[in-house]
Structure 1
Amino acid sequence: MKYSKRIILLLPLFFMLIKEASAQRKVDYTKLVDPFIGTGGHGHTYPGAVVPFGMVQLSPDTRLEGWDGSSGYYATDSLVYGFSHTHLSGTGVPDYCDILFMPTTGKPQLNNKDYRSPFQKKNEDASPGYYTTVLDKYQITAELTATTRVGIHRYSFPSTKEANIIIDLQHRDKVLDSWIEVVNDHEVRGFRRSSSWAKDQSVYFYAKFSKPFKTDGIASDDQLKEGEKKLQGKNIKMYMQFDNPGEVIAKVGISSVSAEGALKNLDAEVPDFDFKKVMRAAKDTWQKELAKIQVEGGAPVAMPVPQSSNMNYGGGFGGYGRPQPRTKTVDYARQKQTIFYTALYHCMLAPNIYNDVDGQYRGMDQQIHKAEGYNYYTVFSLWDTYRAEHPLLLLIDKKRSLDFIKSFMAMNEQGGLLPIWPLASNETYCMIGNHSIPVIVDAYAKGLRGFDAEKAFKMMKDAVNRNQFGLDSYRKNGLVLAEDENESVSKTLEYAYDDWCIAQMAKMLKKDQDYAEYIQRAQYWKNVYNKQTGYVQTRANGGWLSPFKPSDIDNNFTEGNAWQFSFFMPQDVNGLISMLGGKENLENKLDALFAASSVMTGRSLPDITGTIGQYVHGNEPSHHIAYLYNFTDDPYKTQYYLNKIMNMLYKAAPDGLAGNEDCGQMSAWYVMNALGFYNIAPGQNNFQIGIPIFDKATINLENGKKFTISSSGNATNSYYLQGMQLNKKPYNKLFLSYENIENGGDWDVFIGRLPNKLYMEDLEKPVSAITDNLIVVNPYLTASTKTFTKPITVTANSVQDSVQIYYTLDGSTPNLQSKVYTSPISISNTTTIKIIAAKNSMLSKVVTGTFTKIKEDVKADVPHKTALTSQTVN
């Protein structure tokens, strides 16, 4: 009887849980995705049809050139040239847009200015795996959907005996070679080899049509070649004409390997012409992927409503958070969920599968290889995506993350180098650093196995020990010298972080000697940090390059300036605190960053967008900065600024991204931070705690467990931590371990309107410190000029306390037996001064400065010039 009563009492709870679970299952997350977010402003996304990580990205092309045409589409355009099968999501360099199809009526026109058509936004729609628009010129409704390797077009023509489909292989970038062939009245195949950002890209296609075309024509240089069924050249186009077909479905398989490979892909993935079936399958695939993270609720935060598309909002700590008058009712929860799920959608647009259904792909050596037991991927924007995109995918998609690493290693084997920014079968060398390294190390540190770690470790060392992009200068001098390489400061900092990652891998593999070497190199950031100014600065001719202005954008930084990069040593935040003289000074420095004028001086770069003071959210080196407040005595400012960034710099509109989407990084940052945590230095297994913005979020882990985040107290203007529980027990740390999440559980966060400083004081602060094998920081020289007519004095100094400086004036390398520096050095003739710093018998790297005497009638101080390299930045 007792058990019966107990069961009766539990039944309401049981049915409530069943009802809640059922309701959760019925949520259609695809309806919360808006593919047009990011297609305006400088987001550079595309709205077309694609499945997660698909080889095909079938989307309209509305813009043929220009930075804001990088994806082929821009939100305010009103002309469409057609629908091509490959697109890049949010890059800063245009490429792809291969194999253009365009339906028309009337006499076939082959010049794109003749066949293009106006379209109206009111007739345009998109959702995951589907896109449609109406071509006003022809009154044709075009619909697109896709599988992994196949694009499917459905064209609804008006009544006409001249219904055409144009195939343009000349479209967009420079064509190196192409050919097209009519197989029969239902099938066409072809090839396009082009050069743009990817210098040598090959795409084969095979197309089948649901209805026979009555006639066709192939043209070279826009001149039709009568009777030709196959034609080769650099400007190949064709048309096929149908007789009042009503609806025509075209399915197009692509391949980097061969036309036969494209046909295999086509037949394997789309055996029939059922457009709706493919569309439903694409939606179901997206629903499954998006449901890996389920969010509920999402209260508003009172804030100024963003108005401008460039999102440049300045101002200090006190100017944000006051309620603003509203003139219309807004479903804030729905709006936030749309931003969140569109961001998650963007995270799954790249990298892209590159192998055919049989595993074959074109490698970095332009030869055909076969991926055995995994999928080979391309399009890795690693300078961006190692920060948040890859840590996010490691949480929710380990199988794919393993495939990424196997792809990296295959690229190394076939191209001789771990990837930097691989595109198709090319290494673009775009951006700086060697950031496949942190992706591999972070995965290994978090328990991902299934690849040869020893081989990967050797590849990492080979990558950072080559002589390219200033790496030789970095190894020799303990930093990249400006006279040796452009972007020297940024490269020094990013190389040091990569070296820290290698040190962590060495430690995990029990390679003590390697660990000692690379943990020292991980500290080279100290050699570009000027303690006197409190900024990283350019080193040249043995000293600091002057004049110096931290807001200057110049050739010594990568898409940024000293403000942003002075916080880029995430592997050693505690070392930065020591350099600054304490936590209070770090906090003051962060306050100054966010309160500064947003005006950048020096060069003008369109990438510098989404500013709050000198914080630049539109560019990735700033993405961890708000979390540095967690290392200070006022971590509530982390929560404050995260909310400011999320609410001011993300919105559900075409210009809803603060900068380039960068293949998922801009969106991955939002996803991670909306959940309430972020990995500031992948390779460290701790996630910094921020503030979750949803009432509830559930991460459905691949191991079958769930990590549930509940946020109590979400309301207007509430974004400060008041308390936390992990698995129903009080939690008193400002970080979560990877194991906390991976093991599943419940993280309850309590939020209030005011900072709870007493509560914050009791929380355990994160630690990011290098404590082993500490280096002696390079000393520096100071002189009024590097050329002189009358004797000058040169001083030597160090940012490090308790060091002794030794020097030589004869060109020899100084050591502990050299002359001790005690006072300024007077020189009257051309002299090369070399100095080292010593502490506890340890030596810094050698620092060299040359000071040149010139004749009095020569009125020229030799200007400093940085060496330019061919490395591209986006």
Structure 2
Amino acid sequence: MRYFFSTVFRLCGLLLKRTRPLTQAVLTCLIAAFCLPLAAQTRDLTRWVNPFIGTGAHGHTFPGATSPFGMVQLSPDTRIDNWDGSSGYHYSDDIIYGFSHLHLSGTGIPDGADILLLPTIDNLKRFTTSPPLSIGSYGRIPASDFSHSDEKAEPGYYSVKIDNSKLLVELTATTRVGFHRYTFPRSEDAGINLNLMWRDKTLATKLTVINDSRIEGYRRSSSWAKDQMVYFVAEFSRPFSGAGDGRVAQGTMDEEGQQEDIFLPYTTKEGDQILVKVAISHVSIEGARKNLEAELPHWNFDKVRAEAKEEWNKELSKIEVSGGTDEQTTNFYTALYHTMIHPNVFNDVDGRYRGHDGKVHSIGQAESSKLKADSRNSNKNTSQQPSVVSSQQYTVFSLWDTFRAAHPLYTIIDEKRTVDFINTFIRIYEQGGRLPVWELWGEETDTMIGYHAVSVIADAMAKGIQGFDYEKAYEAAKHSAELDHFGLAGYKKRGYVSSEDENESVSKTLEYAYNDWCIASMAETLIRLRQNENRTKRLPENDDYVKEKIADYKKYIRRARNFENLFDPSTKFFRPKRNADFVSPFAPNEVTFHFTEGNSWQYSFFVPHDVSRLIDLMGGRQQFIDKLDELFETDQKLTGRFQPDITGLIGQYAHGNEPSHHIPYLYNFAHAPSKTQVRVRYILDNFYKNTPEGLIGNEDAGQMSAWYVLSASGFYPTTPGQTWYDLGTPLFKEVKFNLENDKTFVIKAPNVSPQNIYINKATWNGRKHFDSYIRHEDIMRGGILELDMTDTPNDKAFIQFSRMGIYTEYAVVPVIAGERVFADKTTVKITETLPGSKIFFTTDGSVPTKDSTPYSQPIEVSKTTTVKAMTVSSQGDISPVTEANFLKRENDWTVNVISEYSTQYTGGGDNAIVDGIRGTINFSSGEWQGVQGKPYEAIIDLQRETTVAEVGGGFLQSVGSWIWMPQRVEFASSNDGENFDVIADFEPKFSLQTPDKAVRDFTQKITPIKTRYIRIRAFNFGKIPQWHLGAGGDPWIFIDEVIIK
């Protein structure tokens, strides 16, 4: 290649010398047009990528070989399990168990590590004793020591010396094939171990030796993905001994007779090389064969490595930066690299893939033709963007993370894959019944909240990206919004998710409201497209189709304001509600089950679709700025439950987790862009480093890095689904986006420096730019945004500021407050949070209307009562009905809880276990008392000598949440409260391994006795068993009621 370019440039020079001046000028332009792009292609950007960034601390990345968005991630495995071993590798380790072919980058749950190979020079005589495991089941495991000084990693290549630095392992990959090269020392006991039982729980395996250089098989496993199939074909460059046609070679079997592993012996001389090609498929062995034949028909390792490097350079060159330090450049290109590891190609070279219905489907010529037709017929868009058609099925969609910045980044630099992703979503909807939430290897895990595939779709539609069926995508989005699971039923009914409905109720309410806005945005796009089409055809603009979509728009845009139902005007925070009232006590820095991996500080700024209303709720622009300042400057102390994801704290801002990522850019909406600039620059400088510990939190499948790529470029998508990006502060003197439409978008900041972080003025293509944002359509047309940077804040650099608002009337549901359980009577107060609203209520169980009793003063309740209420705004909008239940106690018993229950799970206090309020299968509903790692013990004072003939208790089991039924329950009686006699002792019969949640009452009749005090003790089984993800941890006991008859 170098010879080619040197020759071209010599010829160009000769031509210029022998031509006239005018011709020289023309030739110069032609040569520049031809040579400069080619020269750019030869720039080696992979040298700026450090795959070890994020492999330490809590980054959870891996250093191995993969191609951009490739099916194979061939990487070393140094850790069997645990949270920081989610990627299979952690930089603090010094043992390698082998090299497997599937890995996850930056996730918080382990999975993958399929088809493990380990070369050795001593016949696997060295083992390591495994620690207690939560997945897999091992005793002594083959392993090898290694040193980081013997490691090397670059995009598409990894190498390490193992066995006391005597054996060199090199790895590279094509899209669907992992390629190993092992360089051995002299050994008569050398060999390669192929293990199918590694790490995940294995459901079924097969190993077949086809001949002395080929093995085929499959592994079916269960971990995060509950039923994952990986088929493989492995070819060896050198025949191994001890094999025969179609029979299994030396290896081990599990208890059910399944082949666990196979050892392939070799005798080697110094410098002998053995190469192994491992093709995988999620469809069949035949698919793996085809993948191998198509992608790697030869044995030239260096050629594959060079091609992988070339492929990575092609992807990385989509953005070119200059004018930064070496560390900044390394951080940038490593971040860009990390955004291109996931999602992953899921179909074989013949187009076949495993669908969410468990069946094999194919992306064939017929589907391609249909996609083209759909693109022509349904996407009548005035945008000038090029139309592209899907050609791949993808998997690994961490959408709760990546909708925020990674997918918006793809809309700029990778429209084709954006279309591929959305067509994948549509196929998942058609085959699996709904859009993906957190999709992994052809399965839905439902790991996180919301349904953020709609954000990705709405963003693409708003930006005019074509190549997918807008109507089908819209149908799928509405389907997700109208389901009744995960709190959606209550959300649709009362306008918010109550804590009785679901855990993480505040986060779900806020994110569902944003998802609703995305669907409204999609409806708006379809309305605009149809109206444009009707005008072109000289038809009425608002036909029946448009009227239907307008009705949809009104419905979802109204639902998009549901976030207001959880805003507390007195504290200016979003708070959980239970029984129609705000949950107390409340502390904004407390991490509780009401929020998803966060607290109220971090979630009280998640209204990206209606920032204008959020500013109003906070009291105005200055109060909003003050609240943001307080977020960044308040005490970092967290209270409540431990949440390892909350890292990278600046005050209560947590950059190590996604809910905070847009917050620094919110200052722009309050006309304070200089504060955005200083916050963003601090994060860029302090939370991204060129070290293994260089990420402040989980990489999360590219989102953490996408934030860096966009922010270092100078802008960020605060509201995915909107067509502009908020300006921040660039890190480089020049950033150039080389777009798919052959245009270039350039951000220039020639005088940027560690001190000059503030924008003094801006120009767009030489003209003054007064907006604190830049539009997507301008980026895609190409141009130059030049920023004059200074060391002095200048909030007057812009005239037009970011603004996101929903301008429709909305009535907020009322708050109903009172003593939920009372002895004689209680006072109920109903308040509105929107001034000027009127409240109407009922106490007879009927649904209130505008003709019901208007609320004017507190209500006195002396019997068990349900209060229902609604508000009517000053403009006549009617809120959903909310209701609260007030229960008059049937006893006057009191409780002394001996065991210390969690402050997260109090049930309402000591007397909760005799108040008559029963819990549901939702452990966070507020009715349960929970104790962890110890027996539950309480003494009930019946206040007087009472005849007792039956005792029991109500318990919960939710295995995924570490909650089990008690293994033994004991009751004792006493008349003095100190000396107790056992009256019942029984063992509830209930399976510990049932995956379903369950609520059960366990009771026992006894010979009637007269007593005043009853003591209950409920015992668990000790440590969590090894088959569970929480193996070795402490189990919970949850109780909602003690039954005494």
TM-score w.r.t. length of structure 1: 0.91
Identity %: 45
C-alpha distance in 2, partners of 1:182/1:130? Answer: 28
Hey, what does 1:852 align to over in structure 2?
887
In structure 1, give the amino acid aligned to 2:760: Q
Shift of 1:714: 1.3
C-alpha distance in 2, partners of 1:471/1:872? Answer: 21
Shift of 1:681: 1.4
Hey, what does 1:782 align to over in structure 2?
817
In structure 2, give the amino acid aligned to 1:485: E
Hey, what does 2:727 align to over in structure 1?
689
Query: Residue 45 of structure 2 contacts residue 313 of structure 2 at CA under 8 Å; is this kept in 1?
Result: yes
Hey, what does 1:330 align to over in structure 2?
none
1:154-207 deviations in whole A, cap 9, x for unaligned?
Answer: 000111232200000000010000010100011111110000000000001001
Hey, what does 1:702 align to over in structure 2?
740
| Corresponding residue to 2:803 among 759, 767, 780 | 767
C-alpha distance in 2, partners of 1:666/1:196? Answer: 24
In structure 2, give the amino acid aligned to 1:625: I
Larger Rg: 2
In structure 2, give the amino acid aligned to 1:468: H
C-alpha distance in 2, partners of 1:601/1:753? Answer: 38
1:167 is the counterpart of 2:194: yes
Hey, what does 1:619 align to over in structure 2?
657
Hey, what does 2:772 align to over in structure 1?
734
Shift of 1:716: 2.6
Hey, what does 1:339 align to over in structure 2?
331
C-alpha distance in 1, partners of 2:209/2:489? Answer: 54
CA 1:224–1:768: 2 relative to 1, 3 Å:
closer
Hey, what does 1:548 align to over in structure 2?
586
| Corresponding residue to 2:865 among 831, 834, 838 | 831
C-alpha distance in 1, partners of 2:222/2:836? Answer: 56
1:813 is the counterpart of 2:847: yes
Hey, what does 1:309 align to over in structure 2?
none
* Larger strand proportion of the pair: 2
Please, which moves more after superposition, 361-370 or 585-594?
361-370
Query: Residue 870 of structure 2 contacts residue 882 of structure 2 at CA under 8 Å; is this kept in 1?
Result: yes
CA 1:593–1:864: 2 relative to 1, 3 Å:
farther
C-alpha distance in 2, partners of 1:240/1:155? Answer: 14
Hey, what does 1:141 align to over in structure 2?
168
Hey, what does 1:841 align to over in structure 2?
876
Hey, what does 2:755 align to over in structure 1?
717
SS of residue in 1 equivalent to 2:61: coil
* 1:559-574 to 2 correspondences below 5 Å: 559-574=597-612
SS of residue in 1 equivalent to 2:215: strand
1:456 is the counterpart of 2:482: no
TM-score w.r.t. length of structure 2: 0.77
1:794 is the counterpart of 2:794: no
1:520-569 deviations in whole A, cap 9, x for unaligned?
Answer: 11110011111111000001111111111111111110000100111001
In structure 2, give the amino acid aligned to 1:240: L
| Corresponding residue to 1:264 among 275, 280, 290 | 290
Count of aligned positions: 830
Aligned CA RMSD, in angstroms, stands at 2.5
Hey, what does 2:309 align to over in structure 1?
283
In structure 2, give the amino acid aligned to 1:126: A
C-alpha distance in 2, partners of 1:13/1:597? Answer: 60
1:241 is the counterpart of 2:265: yes
Hey, what does 2:1003 align to over in structure 1?
none
1:53 is the counterpart of 2:54: no
* 1:388-787 to 2 correspondences below 5 Å: 388-510=405-527, 511-757=549-795, 759-760=796-797, 762-772=798-808, 774-783=809-818, 785-787=819-821
SS of residue in 1 equivalent to 2:602: helix
1:54-76 deviations in whole A, cap 9, x for unaligned?
Answer: 00000000000100000000011
SS of residue in 2 equivalent to 1:349: coil
Please, which moves more after superposition, 864-873 or 558-567?
864-873
Shift of 1:741: 0.3
C-alpha distance in 2, partners of 1:724/1:736? Answer: 11
Q: Which runs of 5+ in 2 are unaligned?
A: 1-18, 129-139, 369-390, 528-548, 895-910, 925-957, 962-1028, 1030-1045
SS of residue in 2 equivalent to 1:419: coil
CA 1:640–1:356: 2 relative to 1, 3 Å:
same
Hey, what does 2:44 align to over in structure 1?
28
1:476-499 deviations in whole A, cap 9, x for unaligned?
Answer: 110111111111110001111111
| Corresponding residue to 2:85 among 63, 69, 79 | 69
CA 1:147–1:817: 2 relative to 1, 3 Å:
same
1:93-145 deviations in whole A, cap 9, x for unaligned?
Answer: 00000000000123345967453110001000100000000003472100000
SS of residue in 1 equivalent to 2:400: helix
Shift of 1:10: 11
CA 1:706–1:222: 2 relative to 1, 3 Å:
same
SS of residue in 1 equivalent to 2:226: coil
C-alpha distance in 1, partners of 2:256/2:300? Answer: 32
Shift of 1:691: 1.0
Shift of 1:235: 5.3
Q: Which runs of 5+ in 1 are unaligned?
A: 299-332
Shift of 1:868: 3.8
Please, which moves more after superposition, 3-12 or 122-131?
3-12
Shift of 1:445: 1.1
C-alpha distance in 2, partners of 1:171/1:177? Answer: 12
Query: Residue 89 of structure 1 contacts residue 349 of structure 1 at CA under 8 Å; is this kept in 2?
Result: yes
CA 1:864–1:435: 2 relative to 1, 3 Å:
farther
In structure 1, give the amino acid aligned to 2:609: Q
CA 1:149–1:786: 2 relative to 1, 3 Å:
same
C-alpha distance in 2, partners of 1:183/1:219? Answer: 7
SS of residue in 1 equivalent to 2:745: strand
Please, which moves more after superposition, 675-684 or 119-128?
675-684
C-alpha distance in 2, partners of 1:496/1:292? Answer: 34
Shift of 1:451: 1.5
Hey, what does 1:306 align to over in structure 2?
none
Shift of 1:243: 2.5
Please, which moves more after superposition, 173-182 or 210-219?
210-219
1:574-597 deviations in whole A, cap 9, x for unaligned?
Answer: 011111221111101100100111
In structure 2, give the amino acid aligned to 1:194: S
